[in-house]
A and B are shown apart, each in its own frame.
Chain A
Amino acid sequence: MTKINFRWAITHALDEELARDDKVFLVGQDVGESGGVFGLTRGLYEKYGGWRVKDTPISEEGITGLAVGAGMIGHRPVVEIMYMDFISLAIEQLANQAAKTFYVSGGKIKVPMVVRTLAGGGFKAGIHHSQSLESWFTHIPGLKVVYPSTPYDVKGLLKSSIRDDNPVVFIEHKGLFSLKGEVPDEEYTIPLGKADIKREGSDVTIISYGKSVHQSLEAAEALAEEGICAEVIDLRTLVPLDKETILKSVEKTNRAMVVYEATKESGFGAEVSSIISEELIYDLDAPVRRIAGAFTPIPLGDAEDAHFPTVEEIIKVAKEMCY
């Protein structure tokens, strides 16, 4: 085991997959010689050359479609969309082309490809550099959606995503880049579709993903001191969703809340909450609660802190549910 930060876990995953399979290649703005806006592809251009680590023009739809086409004939492209806010431009290729090709070809043409994209707040940069737009994609049959929270998870899940035969939207929270964590020295992968119980508990289940997992863990720590034992589930993959882990936990705790950064309304929490209601409504001791981003564009500067879920809110709601 070595302690590395989230950012390097991404770089190592890319490096290992580029080395393992010559069908893997990277495209995106500044991913090449300059090593990426966040340094995530540093050193890869020198190692694998300009065709496998390709700098592209500002053409989000074009490069996402490039990945669709290359994937169709057996390559494993990895696209970087620098900020998830720009993924609006790539939706056509993801939702209408990548997601539907295997289906509409009668199961004959696969589209293995990954779109890595940087989401979430932390930079306090406002409306166009802060959003988490996962639910645009969890709504589309044919796409997989991954949103990891630790260096260990991001590395193992990115490697699995690159090896997966389906289009994967892989979301990296910018606020996690300097987070340090243990990562095995030997090769490993983490299967898509498996949630991870990051803390065990018996009184309330906090279901989360991405950066919010860490706030949930912090809240759970504080709640423990007050005698509330919270279980924290990190979904890690939103599609496919590990319903089993969610339901098993809520069967035990009889209380559930979902914590996420994206706009609460029609966000992924609504899906999780509905599943719990559909399956376990008579077991619940309290209504399922959602703690998520406000229904406004993301404000600039420190106002961002109030927009996103806070540890205090999680504690407050957990107490309301448990007393």
Chain B
Amino acid sequence: MSETVNLIVNGQDKAVSCSANTTLSQLLREHLMLTGTHVGCDTSQCGACTVHVDGKAVKSCTILAVQVDGSEITTIEGIANQGEQHAMQAAFKECHGLQCGFCTPGMIMASIDLVQSGMDLTEPEIREGLEGNICRCTGYHNIVSAVASAGQKMREA
């Protein structure tokens, strides 16, 4: 059974026809070819698939496309502003917060939400806030630095 899901993805209107059991991550990766959103697990544990649904971080493997009908979706491909990298993207590079890059889009999307949620962003808060995102490469050290540094820039802006 095919359903039509209407979404705004990275600022563009999209009408996608997909089956009722299509997850948001599948819709993004397989229907819209937005392959920056990654799938790293099958139990909603790793956070590689994190995107923003109406501005909040959501694990896109965990939600059906039909559930987000009418929502505004932002993926890693949509956070740069007219070619200028988002402060969080720039900070991940600046602080060497990525190695293989597989967890990175999800980490960046989760981190942006973390900063926007208005926490103080002390080291323990950042660490707790990123608990839903697994990185096997970086040991988190530089990710924490990146989030702290971008957080400051985002708040100053």
A, B bound: no
